[in-house]
Amino acid sequence: MNIHDPQHAQLAAGLASARSAELFDKACKLIPGGVNSTARATWAGWDPYPLFVQGGQGAHLTDVDGNRYIDYLLGLGPMIFGHRPPRVTQAVVDFIQTRGTVFALPTQDEARLAEKIVAAVPSVEQVRLCNTGTEAVLYATRLARAFTGRSKIVRFEGMYHGFSDGVYWSKHPALDRAGPDDHPRAVPQGPGLPHGIEDNLIILPWNDADLLADTLKRHGHEIAAVLTEPVMCNTGCILPQPGYLEAMRELTQAHGVVLIFDEVITGFRLGLAGAQGRFGIKPDLSVFAKGIGGGFPVAAMGGRAELMALVATGKVSMAGTYCANGIAIAAANAALDELNTAGLYQQLDTVSDALRHGLSRVLGDAGLPASVVGLGPLMQVWFAREPIHNYRDAERHADQVLFRRWWQGMLARGVLFHPGAYENLFVSTAHTPADVQATLAAAKEVASELARSA
């Protein structure tokens, strides 16, 4: 029996997906796991096979079986304008057709983009462009070590900062391997990470300012940087407790530790100044990626000129053949122009808030143990009876089985988001009030079904 045969296994009852199943079987013969990123794999929740996409337009996506969805997956976040945004798409096409792609020499467009980023984010005085968030985090931690002369990095359980060996630890560790709550042990994401790297990592639970203060008091002289998302977006959506980011900023300054904000997800999504703008915090270094390119691959790392001076002199190397390539620069310049449109973020928040509050109401009316946590166009549904403030809370209290049933019910009704509770729902500027109403109508049906079978 072929386990991917839709006669024997379906993503969701009533969803036509035979073609996706067939294509996945073929892909598995050539591509390990049948996909090119872990987040699309069966073990990430796309079980027994992922949907294969035909195309997307605006806030909607169509799969190869002809199913059409309201898309809240949005490529895991980059599609802040939805699919195929005309202005960004045309800018890339024009650049390729009239100028080229990769020159290994600078263009004036790079400085124009840097000027826009510096103008948008108050903490960024200078910026270098990269290709991915992984690259940008790697460079930020290297720069922090070079600047401070220290080796250790503080990172938090449940966060993902890319897949480089230096930080690919304690993303979602098994709690029986992760040590006590107040003194977590560094757990590699998987085999193949060199032994000894963990000696340069201090793993902490998020949202515990007292523990961070104690750690910096005891080890501050060894710590180069505190690396954090300002909103935890890689264990669902977990907001900072009131005063936590402020305490983090004060503590790192007091101990001469570089504060790095990983805004790969939140940057240019929660506002032109990202989450740091929303919360009024100025980190020393910031990393951006998904929101900056309007769906094209581009990233950036920037911050205080005093730190970036080490890059200016070549003391700290930031290299890459494809860094600031023509496609990335054209896309990011057009995207930032679009994001500077008056009222854009206010409208995006209005639509997003209607979805978040509407889902909260629907789930509450059904009597389900659920909450919808988020900020602006970033959110997740937690099925839990206890509040979730960090990764261990999520592991102990989140009902992953109920979330799976929620996802299947919504998918069958034409609403797409990631099947994993540790991912997020994203809203784009292309989503309309009508999309939200259709989503809430589907949610009401699914919530009623879940409540009846509880």
Active site residues: 160, 262, 290
The 3-state secondary structure of 259-319, one letter per residue: EEEEECCCCCCCCCCHHHHHHCCCCCEEEECHHHCCCCCCEEEEECHHHHHHHHCCCCCCC
Residue 224 three-state SS: strand
Q: How many CB atoms sit inside 10 A of residue 454's CB?
A: 10
CA-based torsion, 439, 444, 447, 449: positive or negative: negative
DSSP of 226-253, one letter per residue?
A: EEE-SSB-SSS-BPPPTTHHHHHHHHHH
Q: How far apart are CA 382 and CA 404, in angstroms?
A: 11
Interior CA angle at 375 toward 373 and 378, to 5°? 80
Q: How far apart are CA 298 and CA 335, in angstroms?
A: 11
Q: Are 356 and 372 in contact (CB under 8 A)?
A: yes
Strand 370-375 vs strand 299-303: parallel, antiparallel, or unpaired? unpaired
Q: How far apart are CA 269 and CA 424, in angstroms?
A: 13
